[in-house]
Structure formats: C-alpha cells, structure tokens
Amino acid sequence: MGTPVVGKVYLVGAGPGDPGLFTLKGKTLLEHADVVVYDALVSPEILAMCNPRAEQINAGKRRGRHSMVQRDTTQLLIEKAKTHAIIVRLKGGDPFVFGRGGEEMQDLQQAKIPVEVVPGITAGIAAPAYAGIPLTHRAYSSSVTFVTGHEASGKYRPQVNWRAIAQGSETIVVYMGIHNLVHISQELQAGGLPAETPVALVRWGTRSNQEELVGTLGHIAQQVEATGFEAPAIAVIGSIVSLHEILADCRPESLSIMSPD
C-alpha cells in the first residue's frame, strides 16, 4: 500500500501584486498553511502573510529562469500532501487564467490528492484598471479577448490566430507578450487593425513600481526597444486605451508613466 494522504492542496490565486486585492479566503489559508509553494510573480507583501512556521518553497517560473519544472512542482505537492495537512500552491493572478492551475488540478486528482481552487484577481483585469483603462465601455468596447503571447510547445494547435482575433474583438488583452510583440503587432495589422490602434503596456500592474508605456500598434515594439521596457507586462490593444489619459486622475499617484515623445 502507498503512503496515505493526510492533507489537501489549495490552488490559491495571489492576485496581481497589491496585497489589498488578495482574497480573504486566500489570506486565511496562508495564515494556517503548513507548506506554501509559490510562483515568481507573487509579491513579497503577500508572502509576508504566510504562517511563520510554514515551509516556503519557491517554484517560480520566469522566462529562461525556471526554478522547478512543472512535473517536479506537481510531484512536490503530492509528496507534501502525504505529510502535511494544508498545502497552499500560491500562484500569481488567478490559477485558471494562464496559470497552469488546470494542469495541476488534473494531475493532483489523478494522484487521488484532495484539491480545491481559490480564485484570484487576474492581472489582465487589474493592471488595466490601475492604469485608468476600463476594458469595456458602451462608447468604445463591448467585447474583450484574453490571450497569451507565450505559447507552450507541443500544444493542441500550432499558434494563436492573431488575424482572426483582430476582427473578433474590440479590446485585446495579451499576457506574456512582450518578447513576441513584433510578431503580434504585425499579425494584428495583417488581420485588419490599423497601425494607429492605441496600445498600452502595463508592467508590474497594481504594485507601487507599476510602469506604463502607451503608443500605437505600428510603433509600440520600437518604443519597447527604445525605452528598455521589459516583462512582466500586460498589453491592452484597442480604442479603449484612449481613455487612459482621460481617467489619469483615477490612478495611484505613485505610479510611473512612460509616454511616447
């Protein structure tokens, strides 16, 4: 017989970074956790909420700097559930929005490990909001598409159909797209979006060091190169971005704004 399972794994969304946006349920679980396995984008303020006696393990994944491969992370969760009662898998944003939460939940279920998801506020909603950009507005946009700019190898289809997205949604929110921005911009224009379409990039959204770079689809990639703007960042594409300056006073005063010359 195998080792009996004594614990439960909670896939907890840490939100985009501002600790005020973290859920009460997530905070309670952190305060009582025996083990916390956290991602690279979880803010220090959120980690400070952990039970001081909890074992904290960094399983963060950043481009080119993987602390732990996915299968090892899942195996770690399985092993910890055999010896501890409350295991928190703390993931930036929301576990089920480009956070591999679905994959981890499947693997844990197959291993007969009790698992529960605790949603978090995803950066694709929170970062634009903190930049004064509503994703919908009756005069600008009645549709939003959330899409990743960084696709897994061996996935179910070869690539995102950016040209179809260009025609299918009034507002496009791209996660993890900075490194592929040239290709994304070219494909969206080939799909019919004008080069003058407004674009906003929001780096470290909702945190005190949030930065914004505003431009147009035809020139945003050059602006990124010229300014040294780096990931992690959310891209918002569409006419709704024009409200960025109109609603500027709604942003926290400490945030840094980068605009084209």
Catalytic annotation, residues: 39, 61, 176
Strand partners, 211: 203, 256
Give the end-to-end CA distance of the chain in Å, rounded to a whole number: 68
**Strand, helix or coil for residue 203:** strand
Q: Are 230 and 203 in contact (CB under 8 A)?
A: yes
| Calpha distance 152→82 (Å, rounded) | 30
Strand partners, 147: 174
The residue whose two tokens read 């004064």 is: 132
In the structure encoding, which two tokens stand for residue 238, read together?
Answer: 């569409």
